[in-house]
Amino acid sequence: MQVFRFQEETAATTCSVVTIGNFDGIHSGHRALISTAVQEAHARGCASALVTFDPHPQEIIHAQQPVARICTSIHQLRLLEELGLDEVHVIQFTENLAQMHPEEFALKFLIQRFALTKLVIGYDFRFGKHRAGDFLLLEYLSQKYNFSLEEVAPVQERGQTVSSTLIRQLIREFRFTEIQQYLGRDYSIYGKVERGKQRGQQLGFPTANIQPDVALALADGVYVSKIKLADKIYYGVTNVGKNPTFGNNSSTVETLIFDFEKNIYGECLEVTPLSQLRPEMKFADIKDLQAQIQQDIDTARNYLDTNDLQTVI
């Protein structure tokens, strides 16, 4: 899968089937949309392409209000690649773009950008200034510029429309076991293990650290977690947040993996929260923090025993 970032140029394909949206989480509704585009591309002998935006449009339209994300950027691209897309085009969303007339938007980012054979959109797709662009405008443009158009209906699960908004709500409420039916997989945080400030090592509790690069939907706190590394499953304790005891400004995802001592810097880790143990806290001193970490470990191990989960699979 080729990824094009903030570029006017695209791959030199003779025809493309394109879908467009934000696609945070790559949930069941997104998968239905993307699968339709991929299957249509295969049937027509075309490239399948997805157009998305960075930052999230709402972060520009409502400045200083970061959108809580289900997926890290690296996780989103990994999931998109697994769905068989040929190309992903990441468009830089700016204030000027937010003010663009819908028809100009469609021309610049869809019709003129691709040798567009078919456009596949979701039932709720809106675009351009004041979100004024809709299916009717695209239908008019499809006739004018000779491409076909398909609107994919919403996916329903247990009487609810699958959406990123619904999944974020479930994450905020720690209803992790319910998320799978809407997301199509366990909710997890995925990223590359980076070298941190070695505080965990100094405290006697070494951790594998991920910099999420986006504001996460998951509340800051400590979680018992399932960890996937190189096709093996482990369990442990994960702290999500800014480590207020040390006055950090940026959020990290720090995981203590039970019964594990290897150096895994640079490897990709997938962390699935199972249950929140407590909110993130600021401690008066290091000894209090160490005592709480040990208590978190004991509570997590008891959770694993109670739920008949092995520490290594």
Structural domains of the chain ordered from first start? 2-161 (3.40.50.620), 188-306 (2.40.30.30)
In this prediction, residue 95 carries a pLDDT of 87
Distances (CA, A) of 47 to 2, 34, 61, 138: 11, 13, 32, 20
Q: What is the number of other CB atoms lying within 10 angstroms of the CB of residue 17?
A: 27
Backbone angles phi, psi at 207, to 5 degrees: -125, 155
- The answer to whether 123 and 154 are in contact (CB under 8 A) is yes
**How far apart are alpha carbons 80 and 27 in whole angstroms?**
11
| Under-70 pLDDT residues of the chain | 7-9, 11-12, 64, 196-204, 243-249, 284, 311-313
What is the DSSP-derived secondary structure letter of residue 66?
Answer: P
- The answer to whether 235 and 256 are in contact (CB under 8 A) is no
In this prediction, residue 115 carries a pLDDT of 92
In this prediction, residue 242 carries a pLDDT of 76
In this prediction, residue 251 carries a pLDDT of 83
**How far apart are alpha carbons 225 and 238 in whole angstroms?**
6
In this prediction, residue 54 carries a pLDDT of 87
In this prediction, residue 199 carries a pLDDT of 60
- The answer to whether 55 and 19 are in contact (CB under 8 A) is no
